[in-house]
Amino acid sequence: MSKQQRNALGRGLSALLENASTDITAAEAKPLNSISEIPIGQVQANPFQPRDVFEETALNELAESIKVHGIIQPITVRKLGYDSYQIISGERRTRAARLAGLTSIPAYIRLADDQGMLEMALIENIQREELNAMEIAFSYKRLLEECSLNQEQLGERVGKKRSTVNNYLRLLKLPDNIQIAIRENEISMGHARAIINIEDQDDQQYLFHKIVEEGLTVRDIENLVRQAQERAVEKKNSLPTKKKTEIPQAFGEMQKSLSEKLGMKIKIKADEKGRGSLVIPFKSQQDLKRLIDLL
């Protein structure tokens, strides 16, 4: 991906889609932002599409709207070869257009490599409000791992603070059943953010079931989490500190003397009753043989 394309992504997907350097339709002596009608049968799905579920009722409603009004917002594709295109953004519109029986679809035709495709597809989908928190979290993870971005760069790409990006990524550390509940809107992002502040997974499951069974609010869960954290601190502070044992002075002198004799630092561990162990390190088989001969 070129520097110009990356800068465009930093300003949002719309900036890249208005970039003449990536626009085949513009390069073919057409005005900037011109639209081509391409056969819908030549349009392939986006392999990098982060959404794997398209709500059937909403898709049918969009198809009915398309029958009446047509495609209001053109899709964006890249040209793969002769009579072959791949969707960059607009998979939902394309599916609905097929349901509506359209034989062609208005499109911007762009130049993009696979990494550029992935970035554009993920960012375009993240900017849509209907994505659930887990879909956003997985999209952020893919941008980090597959596009070699750090969290600061990712925040610039999607127009979010680094702390916001991190809050979504932390959801991926939750147990699978809680992630599914977030995805299916059984619990909110606020609930999830409170739960993840507890490290113990048994405690996380306990809080999750209380939300589902008792309908607890985010504020309720935050209070429970705070109380649990306070109890954990009190328990830790009440534990007796382990007293560091020191070997008797005579053992210390023996340790020093033996270390000097063997030419290496040995260690004597002993309790108050004089029971313990002698630790003699060696660096090689030859070193071990030397020690055995000395002893």
Asked whether residue 99 falls in the same domain as residue 206, the answer is: no
Q: What is the pLDDT of residue 280?
A: 75
Asked whether residue 271 falls in the same domain as residue 201, the answer is: no
In the structure encoding, which two tokens stand for residue 286, read together?
Answer: 């030859």
Asked whether residue 202 falls in the same domain as residue 275, the answer is: no
Asked whether residue 19 falls in the same domain as residue 79, the answer is: yes
Asked whether residue 20 falls in the same domain as residue 53, the answer is: yes
Structurally, how many domains does the chain consist of?
A: 3
Asked whether residue 218 falls in the same domain as residue 274, the answer is: no
Is residue 86 exposed (0-12), middle (13-18) or buried (19+ Cβ within 10 Å)?
buried
159 within domain boundaries: no
Asked whether residue 256 falls in the same domain as residue 283, the answer is: yes
Q: What tens digit of pLDDT does each residue of 257-281 get?
A: 777 777 667 777 776 666 777 777 7
Asked whether residue 10 falls in the same domain as residue 124, the answer is: yes
| pTM check: above 0.85 | no
Question: Measured between alpha carbons, how far is 158 from 224 in angstroms, rounded to an integer?
Answer: 33
Q: What is the pLDDT of residue 108?
A: 84
Cα end-to-end distance, the chain, whole Å: 68
140 within domain boundaries: no
Asked whether residue 7 falls in the same domain as residue 121, the answer is: yes
Domain interval for residue 290: 249-294
SS3 state at 102? coil
Q: How far is CA 242 from each of CA 173, 232, 251, rounded to the nearest angstrom? A: 33, 19, 22
Q: What is the pLDDT of residue 240?
A: 64
Question: Measured between alpha carbons, how far is 49 from 76 in angstroms, rounded to an integer?
Answer: 13
- Which one from 56, 91, 119, 260 is the annotated catalytic residue? 91
93 within domain boundaries: yes
pLDDT by residue, tens only, the chain of 295 residues: 444 444 434 444 444 444 444 445 444 434 434 678 999 999 988 776 656 567 788 888 889 989 988 888 888 888 887 788 888 878 888 999 999 999 999 988 877 666 666 677 677 667 665 678 888 888 888 778 777 778 888 888 778 888 888 899 999 999 889 998 998 889 998 999 999 988 888 888 889 998 999 988 999 988 988 888 888 777 777 766 555 556 666 666 777 777 777 766 777 777 666 677 777 777 777 767 777 777 6
Asked whether residue 202 falls in the same domain as residue 270, the answer is: no
- The pair phi, psi for residue 128, each rounded to 5°, is -90, 135
Asked whether residue 28 falls in the same domain as residue 64, the answer is: yes
Question: Measured between alpha carbons, how far is 217 from 190 in angstroms, rounded to an integer?
Answer: 9
80 within domain boundaries: yes
Asked whether residue 9 falls in the same domain as residue 81, the answer is: yes
CATH of residue 24's domain is 3.90.1530.30
Question: Measured between alpha carbons, how far is 144 from 150 in angstroms, rounded to an integer?
Answer: 6
Using alpha carbons only, give the angle 51, 163, 198 rounded to the nearest 5 degrees. Answer: 90
In the structure encoding, which two tokens stand for residue 147, read together?
Answer: 């596009």
Residue 260 is a catalytic residue: no
Q: What is the pLDDT of residue 36?
A: 86
H or E stretch including 111?
none
Question: Measured between alpha carbons, how far is 242 from 193 in angstroms, rounded to an integer?
Answer: 35
- Domain stops at, among 235, 270, 286: 235
- Domain stops at, among 205, 235, 265: 235
269 within domain boundaries: yes
The pairing of strands 43-44 and 84-89 is parallel
Q: What is the pLDDT of residue 16?
A: 42
- Domain stops at, among 128, 157, 189: 128
